Amino acid sequence: MATATTATPELKLERVNTPPAQTWNYLRANDITLTVPSESRKGDVYFALPRLFEGIECGMGPDVTAWIESQAADAQYVEVRAGERRIEPIIATMDTGVMVRTGAEATIVVCADAQATSRTSAALVRVIAEKGARVRVLEFVATGDDQQHLESVGITADEGARVEVRQYFLGAHTTAAGLSCALNGADARFDLTCRYLGTDDQRLDINHVVRMRGRNGRSDLRESGVLDGRARKTLRATIDLVHGSSGSEGAELENVLVLSDDVVNKTMPVILCDEDDVAGNHGATIGSVGPEQIQYLADRGLSQEEAEALYVRALFDEALICAPTAAVRAAVLARAQTVLGTEVAGDLVDALQLDTEDRA
Amino acid sequence: MSDQLLRVSGLCAGTEDKPILHDVSLSVGAGQTHVLMGPNGAGKSTLGHVIMGDPAYQVTSGTIEFDGADVTDDSADKRSLAGIFLSYQAPVEVPGVPLYSYLRTITQKRPELKMTARKFRDRVGQIADQLDMGSSFLTRELNVGFSGGEKKKIEMLQLLLLRPKLAILDETDSGLDVDALSVVSRGIEAYRQACDGALLVITHNTRILERLSVDRTHVMVQGKLVAEGPASLIDDIDAHGFEQFEHAKGGDAQ
Amino acid sequence: MSERTQNRTQVADVDRSLYDFTYSEEGYERYDDGLTPDIVRAISKKKDEPEWMLAMRLAALDTYHAKEMAPNWGPSIAGLDMDHISTYVSPKTKQAKSWDDVPDDIKTTFERLGIPEAERESLAGVGAQYDSEIVYHNMREEVARDGVIYTTIEDALHDPQWEPVVHEYFGTLIPPADHKFAALHYAVWSGGSFVYVPAGVKVDYPLQSYFRLNAEGAGQFEHTLIIVEKGADLHFIEGCSAPKYYEANLHAGAVELFVKDGARLRYSTIENWSKNMYNLNTKRARVGADAQMEWVSGSFGSHVSYLYPTTILQGDRSNCEFTGITFAGATQDLDTGCKVILNGADTTATVDTKSISKDGGCNTFRSSIVVGRRAANARASVSCQSLMLDDISRSDTIPAMDVRNATANVGHEATIGRISDDTVLYLMSRGCSEAEARTMVVGGFANPVSKELPLEYAVEMNNLIKLEMEGAIG
């Protein structure tokens, strides 16, 4: 306590990323505790989001929402008018609320790069997709090895809205990400692709929640990742088929590649079902690269290490292809250089003929 | 015409959001063999399912009479016990229910077929032999993990066991190799001989009809019966296809 | 949708007349409600136990009072008032070796449950517990000649040859501090079985213990301790039932299973407690190298259940198979599942569970698969299927996996759904009524479990399903 005079005050956030239904506490898979800086903002007044965003459930839980709101400067509110097809992506700041009106289309980009000056970075994104809206959320966490990143997303989808989320967690010291999507209207649809990488002493804690409330909803969650070194990962994925969601179908599938005996991989795929006329299924496969695959790749001249590296490279390839702006590409590439080395990273750029310079 | 076994009159039916059958009338006499032909998507299978009482389809007007009684509002199990049998195009899998227990259950439901377990076992064995089915079939789960051809054999087995007054064969020939096709043909023949049952064969392929002596042929296009004739109509279709009827139908509609 | 979807199967409460009969407990020795050191001492004194056992009981009682239940856990047990549960109710009888020596009312109870008949026909030995005490225990002579011990823990504690064995094993696999109700169990345990199968002995017929809780507002806390020595083989069956009361009953048993190297143990349970029962039971097995543990579990009864049999695959190449079904009807909230810890190399675990929810019943399937760092090439697969029979019931699936070895392979799949309209129509088109069609599908759904049970239990289970499904049809 003696040296605390110069240090930033800290706050301990407990029970972060808690899923709606929990397992045995002794498994230590139910939540994560994070220590974050907490600057007092007493006396300052910042622009806040409209009140209706308060009702949106965010994946990391209310404590994280309150903390980010207390630390962010002005919140960014973006509205996409009814029927508008917005091409230019909305770049999320630390606290962003997006209203996508009836029939509109929008892409939201959340990117955490290694530039951040603070050891901890965070993003809070809340989205309202009105009737028939189409929303894409692209998340890239490409922060540095010594950083901690928190990313909490909350989405509500009205009748016939389609929400597509792609997440690329490319390794930070600690990545904690929560996403909650509520399909409130009938015929709404949610598709999630989440790709992650954990190496060295990295910690990755993910919480995905889909609340299926409207009739005939569809949700499809695909998570996959590669874990090496002493990485610790916990994924919780919950499909909640709420009473009244008749005709809905929810599916979730995780594939994990474990490359080291020092990895700790925890997976909790949960289905909650309060309705009979629904279909829910989930699955998980956890293991190493199969002997047949290793053999096949060996026949083509790859050693086991090279074969495993291929899976890591593939992750960056995909992230680069999906990166919608030059800034995101630059962030992903910088991360690729750290993880894969300059040569492979350069090859990625060449092969994809990517433009990493800002074109203004 | 009171000797008709099945009489469909002015039938209109469809799903909640889409009418499929329009003013369909068709009669099948006891012991007769009728063929219902038509291009894919004409509504042939729907007619089969509506006659069986599939609640996925709603009858908006018209009646279905069977064996002198109006069955339009009866549930599928009542129609089954009355003597209608529908052989499915894609028989449903029922995990965990052994074929033998299932067959025993559906047989015991019919007073006219009740028999001792021993006699029943013999009877099933006989039919299985007739259809070239090994006895190991009987301990397997109903339709689970069987090939398309095997599933059709299981449908034939039930047909021969239940001896319905009317059998509707919904595309029973689709997806079968030559051997399986001949087994199915034999099954149909055996059914005709065993109980002189009536047949309504739904198909868009004429090969299975070669061995059958057909009494009447009906042609369905876009949910309407557009032609009816003797067995020779089949040869006509073989030679000229369905286009002639489609044109005729188009002319009618406009 | 079609009309049929609204026209759901009508099912009333089960006809439980087979289980719902009671006899007066007049003249029984019933200890005061609640939990005090005095009651614990009284139980121990009555059993004339060794000093270490009393010490263990008293320590466990302290643990029980000190421990809290986790606040984020499953179904509520708020209806359980421990101050009004009698922990010890003993019928006025001595343990008998012949049914003729069992008091008439108790004998009639077990006859109606079919126990003596099953014993004559297909069992190697039977134990029958009525409330807190075993009233009957017997085993076939040839099995005894092989050196198999099947007795109560109380009797084993009075036998100088077996007292050290009980002392060595008792409470080591499920320690009293494991959770609050384990502590309660060790404080007031009474009855249960002690089984010892010597190395290499294969018991051809199953041993069976049947637990009947007759008294109202009482608890049953039996302890089962089974040791299957190297290369030995045993099938143990456990049956449970109780009549329906309105006051809460509590079952907090403990089952400790030691399966030594190369041995095999199959543990089958048909649980049909009445719907005022809190079934908070703990079962655990430790499995040696090349040994096999098989669980078959059917859970039909109880108001609230917490039941997660645990298998610790300690030895290399050991194997665990868990097959279970849970049927939750009106007023039932059943939190069941299993845990497997794979510690040895080349270990394998297969978990296959089914659940059926109807009439507002709640099912929660919970599992954990933990693969330790040493468990090279471990293989685990979990499959969990849930059937929803109406839209007022609930079914949750909460599996957890913790994998710490790169060569391990863990797979999990779960599906939730209802009986498809197509299936019902197919069966109806062959003459089954809708209710029969649904019963047939549910029976088929349960079939993978019932075919693992001995015939008479499979029949009992199928009857239970029929009762549940067809209760009020017609």
A127 and A197 share a domain? yes
CB contacts, 8 Å: B16 with chain C:
1
CB contacts, 8 Å: C2 with chain B:
55-56, 58
Q: Does B61 touch chain C (CB under 8 A)?
A: no
> B148 lies in a domain?
no
Domain boundary among A258, A288, A318: A288
> C376 lies in a domain?
yes
Tens of each residue's pLDDT in chain C, 474 residues: 333 333 333 333 344 566 677 777 766 777 777 788 999 999 999 999 999 999 999 999 999 999 988 877 778 888 888 888 888 887 777 788 888 888 888 888 888 877 888 888 778 888 888 888 888 888 888 899 999 999 999 999 999 999 999 999 999 999 999 999 999 999 999 998 999 999 999 999 999 888 888 888 888 999 999 999 999 999 999 988 877 777 888 999 999 999 999 999 999 998 888 888 999 999 999 999 999 999 999 998 899 999 999 999 999 999 999 999 999 999 999 999 999 999 999 999 999 999 999 999 999 999 999 999 999 999 999 999 999 999 999 999 999 999 999 999 999 999 999 999 999 999 999 999 998 899 899 989 998 888 888 777 788 788 778 877 765 332
CB contacts, 8 Å: C396 with chain A:
21, 270-273
In the predicted structure, residue B242 carries a pLDDT above the cut 70: yes
Q: What pLDDT score was predicted for residue C18?
A: 60
Give me the residue from C423, C433, C443 closest to B77, CB to CB.
C433
Q: Does B114 touch chain C (CB under 8 A)?
A: no
**For residue C92, what are the domain limits?**
26-413
Q: What pLDDT score was predicted for residue A228?
A: 94
Q: What pLDDT score was predicted for residue A164?
A: 98
β C379-388/C277-287 pair status? unpaired
CB contacts, 8 Å: C439 with chain B:
none
| Angle between helical axes of C115-122 and C104-112 (0-180°, round to 10) | 60
A232 and A128 share a domain? yes
Give me the residue from C428, C432, C445 closest to B95, CB to CB.
C445
Which SS3 state, helix, strand or coil, does residue C338 take? strand
Q: Which of B55, B33, B28, B18 is nearest to B188 (CA)?
A: B33
Find, in chain B, the residue whose alpha carbon is nearest to that of C428. B77
**Mean pLDDT of the A264-291 span:** 90
Distance (Å, whole) CA A284 – CA C285:
26
Q: What pLDDT score was predicted for residue C442?
A: 92
Q: What pLDDT score was predicted for residue C468?
A: 75
Q: Please tell me which chains touch B, using 3 or more CB pairs under 8 Å as the contact test.
A: C
Report the number of distinct structural domains present in chain B: 1
**C359 to chain B, minimum CA–CA distance in Å?**
23
**A62 to chain C, minimum CA–CA distance in Å?**
17
Q: What pLDDT score was predicted for residue C230?
A: 98
- Contact between C414 and A282 under an 8 Å Cβ cutoff? The reply is yes
Distance (Å, whole) CA A73 – CA A66:
13
**A338 to chain C, minimum CA–CA distance in Å?**
24
**C388 to chain A, minimum CA–CA distance in Å?**
5
Q: What pLDDT score was predicted for residue C86?
A: 84
Contact B95 C430 (CB under 8 A): no
Q: Does C375 touch chain A (CB under 8 A)?
A: no
Report the number of distinct structural domains present in chain A: 2
Distance (Å, whole) CA C258 – CA C267:
12
Contact C72 A25 (CB under 8 A): yes
> B132 lies in a domain?
no
> B249 lies in a domain?
yes
> B103 lies in a domain?
no
**A298 to chain C, minimum CA–CA distance in Å?**
18
CB contacts, 8 Å: A246 with chain C:
391
Contact B81 C431 (CB under 8 A): yes
In the predicted structure, residue A32 carries a pLDDT above the cut 80: yes
> A2 lies in a domain?
no
- How do residues B110-159 score in pLDDT, each as one tens digit? 888 888 888 888 899 999 988 888 878 888 888 888 888 888 889 999 99
Q: How many CB pairs under 8 A join B and C?
A: 81
Which SS3 state, helix, strand or coil, does residue C40 take? helix
Domain boundary among A266, A288, A310: A288
In the predicted structure, residue A265 carries a pLDDT above the cut 60: yes
- How do residues B183-192 score in pLDDT, each as one tens digit? 788 888 889 8
**What's the ipTM?**
0.88
Which SS3 state, helix, strand or coil, does residue B244 take? helix
Contact B94 C426 (CB under 8 A): yes
Q: Name which of B93, B94, B161 to mutate to probe chain C: the one with the most chain C Cβ atoms within 10 A of its Cβ.
A: B94
Q: How many CB pairs under 8 A join A and C?
A: 142
Token look-up 């700041």 returns A93
pTM for the whole thing?
0.85
A305 and A276 share a domain? no
A250 and A356 share a domain? no
Q: Which of A96, A74, A97, A98 is nearest to A84 (CA)?
A: A98
β B224-229/B216-221 pair status? antiparallel
Distance (Å, whole) CA C32 – CA A325:
75
Q: Does C177 touch chain A (CB under 8 A)?
A: no
- How do residues A227-254 score in pLDDT, each as one tens digit? 999 999 999 999 999 999 999 999 999 9
A242 and A302 share a domain? no
**Mean pLDDT of the B243-248 span:** 72
Q: What pLDDT score was predicted for residue B248?
A: 56
Distance (Å, whole) CA B229 – CA A69:
79
A119 and A144 share a domain? yes
Contact C402 A24 (CB under 8 A): no
> A1 lies in a domain?
no
Q: What pLDDT score was predicted for residue C1?
A: 35
Give me the residue from C373, C397, C418 closest to A276, CB to CB.
C418
A235 and A330 share a domain? no
Q: What pLDDT score was predicted for residue A116?
A: 59
- How do residues A315-340 score in pLDDT, each as one tens digit? 898 898 899 999 999 999 999 999 98
Q: Which of C280, C249, C255, C218 is nearest to C39 (CA)?
A: C218
Give the CATH number, domain containing residue B53: 3.40.50.300
A208 and A253 share a domain? yes
A360 and A306 share a domain? yes
> B155 lies in a domain?
no
Q: What pLDDT score was predicted for residue C210?
A: 87
> A3 lies in a domain?
no
Confidence of residue A3 (pLDDT cuts 50, 70, 90): very low
**For residue A251, what are the domain limits?**
9-21+30-288
Confidence of residue A360 (pLDDT cuts 50, 70, 90): very low
CB contacts, 8 Å: C7 with chain A:
none
**For residue B34, what are the domain limits?**
4-90+164-253
> A217 lies in a domain?
yes
> B67 lies in a domain?
yes
Which amino acid, residue B177?
Answer: D
Find, in chain A, the residue whose alpha carbon is nearest to that of C335. A23
Contact A27 C410 (CB under 8 A): no
**C252 to chain A, minimum CA–CA distance in Å?**
19
Report the number of distinct structural domains present in chain C: 1
Q: Which of B218, B174, B182 is nearest to B200 (CA)?
A: B218
- 3-state helix, strand, coil split of chain A in percent (to 5) is 20, 40, 35
Give me the residue from C398, C408, C418 closest to A23, CB to CB.
C398
